């Protein structure tokens, strides 16, 4: 640890360092401007000099957060990127989540690792289906939400209508923090309702300017009809402060960052099997919420991303890998800036660090300095699409098996090995995941595959007394598979068949959700 870092820790203490952390995710419907906003936040925070956006050309097209080839080609986020930077005296851990619904599992797991979410809404489209689903995930975990209404420089809905839609659709109180001055091509800046300051080119407008007159009329309604920001309601997930702006024109981005500094939540307590783990506890605990393979194709590396849940982690310390009972040495923990990385000599509760991993760590694993505990809330959802993998070159069968295991551990797909010995089946939420699997197998492993349909449409994890599960598996061998952890899965050809099996086997449980790392 450097002398400066030692001085910082001794001056502020453990709790002081933890209070400086802001760990948040950015969520939205596709095309609401999430990745562009991420890039502008990074630039405003001094983390990058040239902010990219997904519809730009040339060098400006090279977004930091979308670093994978398929992301650059398609202009979408398909994996969660982690970026750590400092701003306003705080340490930010920004997690840019996939917007596409086909990657909802990755997004859900990411939301188990954050303390706050920034919800991006397209000013023209309002609340969209994906936004609603992501919000419900946040509500399940009582995650506080800050709202950024983007694209005010384009044709937009009425601002009061947007706020009413948020309140009625999401059952979430809205407290505007800023208000737009002008709309579409006439958008000229924002008015800060807290400081009474005008930002943007509108700061030079006279009061007689039509947009300033319209602002004055809007403010009367805002102050009369809408609630003011209440910290307790925000922390409980009942109220959202709302910011208006344009990520493309970098209007409102600094306001958003300053708000996260001012009242973004510090690291919160994390749920485990038997108790909540407070961030200020001295013993180090960490949750593995993401695995990423081949971030550096030259070295075929595998990185486990860990949310530090309590204490202060230092390079070289050893933690207990609770699932296996073995010690795990932290030789080279790393902070990430998308694909770029920096050695982490120390990290505190709330930080997200990467741990080099050779298959030992899995999603949902707990690392603990002493206590035997397991963090909860990290699930696998039953896939909606099942496909059998077809290998084009039989000589690469061994390589395919390894690649499928590694990508399944990463969460790209779910892997099911049929108990009758036939070729593996992959399960996904949406077809885009199949494209990603095919692309990554070809690009990173040199294995070309295709997909074949299966007679199965539904997968359910089977639990119960061991002998009864084994008897059921033998009787239905052609419809049974083992998942990555070796847990039995029943594959049904239809919803009717699934209901019939449930009725015929009341002593067994058939689950569409599996808590990772825990027994059902």
Q: Which tens digit of pLDDT belongs to each residue from 435-460?
A: 989 999 998 899 999 999 999 999 99
Domain boundary among 264, 279, 300: 264
If asked whether residues 311 and 436 sit together in one domain, one would say no
Q: Over 238-269, what HEC string results?
A: CEEEEEECECCCCECHHHHHHHHHHHCCCCCC
Which one of 208, 240, 264 terminates a domain?
264
Residue 138 located in a structural domain: yes
Is 88 inside a domain boundary? no
Residues 259, 277 share a domain = no
pLDDT at residue number 80: 60
- The answer on 152 and 29 residing in a single domain is yes
Helix axes 159-170, 210-225, angle to 10 degrees: 30
- 3-class secondary-structure state, position 30: coil
Q: Give me the domain span that covers residue 333.
A: 271-368
Confidence at 376, pLDDT banded by 50, 70, 90: confident
Whether residue 363 is contained in a domain is answered as yes
Binding residues for GTP: 28-35, 96-100, 150-153
Residues 200-208: what's their mean pLDDT? 95
Burial of 342 (0-12, 13-18, 19+ CB in 10 A): exposed
Percent of the chain with pLDDT over 70: 87
- Indicate the number of domains in the chain: 3
User: Crossing angle for the helix pair 431-445 and 397-410, nearest 10 degrees?
Assistant: 130
Domain check: are 217 and 310 in the same one?
Answer: no
DSSP structural state of residue 371: -
The CATH number of the domain holding residue 145 is 3.40.50.300
Asked if residue 473 and residue 333 are part of one domain, the reply reads no
Q: % helix / strand / coil in the chain, to the nearest 5?
A: 30, 30, 40
**Contact between residue 218 and residue 179 where contact means Cβ atoms under 8 Å apart:** yes
Establish how many alpha carbons lie within 13 A of residue 351's alpha carbon, considering only the half-sphere containing its beta carbon: 29
Looking at the structure, tell me whether residues 319 and 459 fall in a common domain.
Answer: no
Tell me the C-alpha distance between 222 and 240, whole Å.
Answer: 15
Residue 130: pLDDT band by 50, 70, 90 thresholds? confident
Can you tell me which residue has the tokens 């932290």?
A: 330
Residue 467 has pLDDT above 80, yes or no: yes
The CATH number covering residue 507 comes to 3.30.70.3280
Q: Is 277 helix (H, G, I), strand (E, B) or coil?
A: strand
Binding residues: 28-35, 96-100, 150-153
Alpha-carbon dihedral 10, 88, 24, 130, rounded to 10 degrees: 180
Among residues 349, 368, 387, the one where a domain terminates is 368
Which residues face 380 on adjacent strands? 514
**Residue 95 belongs to some domain of the structure:** no
Q: How confident is the model at residue 78 (pLDDT cuts 50, 70, 90)?
A: very low
* pLDDT band at residue 357 under the 50/70/90 scheme: confident
Considering the domain architecture, whether residues 391 and 487 belong to the same structural domain is answered as: yes
Q: pLDDT grade, residue 102 (50/70/90)?
A: low
Residue % of the chain over a pLDDT of 90: 66
Residues 245 and 290 in one domain: no
Tell me, yes or no, whether 6 lies in a domain. Answer: no
What value does the mean pLDDT take over residues 469-487? 96
For 378-429, what is each residue's pLDDT tens digit? 878 899 999 999 998 999 999 999 999 989 988 889 999 999 999 999 999 8
Query: And the tokens for 352?
Result: 């997200």
Same structural domain for residues 342 and 426? no
Specify if 35 maps to a domain.
yes
The answer to whether position 439 is within a domain reads yes
Do 260 and 275 fall within a single domain? no
What is the sign of the dihedral through the CA atoms of 140, 29, 115 and 172?
negative
Do 161 and 29 share a structural domain?
Answer: yes
* Least confident among 4-18, 125-139, 373-387, 415-429: 4-18
In this structure, the answer to whether residues 284 and 433 fall within a common structural domain is no
The reply to whether 281 falls in a domain is yes
């Amino acid at each position: 640890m450097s002398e400066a870092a030692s001085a910082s820790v001794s001056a502020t203490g453990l709790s002081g360092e933890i209070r400086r952390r802001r760990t948040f995710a950015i969520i939205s419907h596709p095309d609401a401007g999430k990745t562009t906003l991420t890039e502008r936040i990074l630039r405003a925070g001094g983390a990058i000099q040239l902010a990219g956006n997904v519809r730009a050309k040339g060098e400006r097209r090279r977004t930091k957060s979308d670093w994978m080839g398929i992301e650059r080609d398609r202009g979408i986020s398909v994996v969660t990127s982690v970026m750590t930077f400092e701003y306003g005296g705080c340490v930010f851990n920004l997690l840019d989540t996939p917007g596409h619904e086909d990657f909802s599992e990755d997004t859900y797991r990411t939301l188990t690792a954050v303390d706050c979410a920034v919800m991006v809404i397209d000013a023209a489209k309002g609340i969209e289906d994906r936004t609603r689903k992501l919000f419900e995930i946040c509500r399940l975990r009582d995650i506080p939400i800050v709202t950024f209404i983007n694209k005010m420089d384009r044709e937009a809905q009425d601002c009061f209508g947007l706020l009413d839609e948020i309140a009625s659709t999401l059952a979430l109180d809205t407290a505007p923090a800023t208000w737009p001055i002008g709309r579409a091509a006439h958008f000229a800046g924002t008015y800060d309702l807290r400081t009474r300051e005008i930002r943007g080119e509108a700061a030079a407008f006279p009061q007689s300017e039509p947009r300033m007159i319209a602002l004055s009329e809007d403010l009367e309604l805002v102050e009369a009809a809408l609630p003011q920001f209440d910290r307790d309601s925000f922390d409980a997930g009942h109220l959202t402060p709302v910011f208006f702006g344009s990520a493309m024109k970098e209007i409102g981005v600094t306001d958003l960052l300053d708000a996260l500094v001012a009242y973004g939540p510090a690291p919160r307590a994390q749920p485990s099997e038997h108790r909540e783990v407070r961030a200020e506890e001295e013993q180090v605990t960490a949750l593995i919420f993401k695995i990423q393979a081949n971030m550096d194709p030259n070295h075929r590396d595998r990185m486990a991303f860990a949310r530090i849940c309590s204490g202060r982690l230092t390079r070289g310390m050893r933690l207990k890998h609770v699932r296996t009972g073995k010690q795990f040495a932290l030789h080279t923990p790393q902070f990430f800036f998308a694909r770029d990385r920096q050695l982490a000599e120390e990290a505190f509760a709330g930080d997200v660090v990467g741990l080099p991993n050779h298959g030992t760590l899995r999603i949902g694993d707990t690392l603990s300095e002493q206590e035997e505990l397991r963090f909860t809330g990290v699930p696998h959802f039953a896939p909606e699409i099942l496909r059998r993998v077809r290998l084009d070159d039989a000589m690469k069968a061994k390589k395919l098996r390894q690649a499928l295991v590694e990508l399944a551990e990463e969460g790209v797909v779910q892997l099911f090995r049929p108990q009758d010995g036939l070729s593996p089946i992959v399960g996904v939420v949406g077809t885009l995941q199949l494209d990603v699997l095919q692309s990554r197998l070809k690009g990173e492993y040199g294995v070309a595959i295709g997909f074949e349909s299966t007679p199965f449409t539904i997968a359910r994890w089977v639990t119960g007394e061991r002998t009864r599960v084994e008897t059921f598996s033998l009787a239905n061998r052609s419809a049974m598979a083992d998942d990555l952890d070796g847990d039995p899965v029943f594959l049904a050809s239809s919803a009717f068949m699934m209901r019939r099996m449930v009725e015929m086997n009341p002593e067994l449980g058939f689950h569409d959700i599996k808590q990772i790392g825990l027994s059902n």
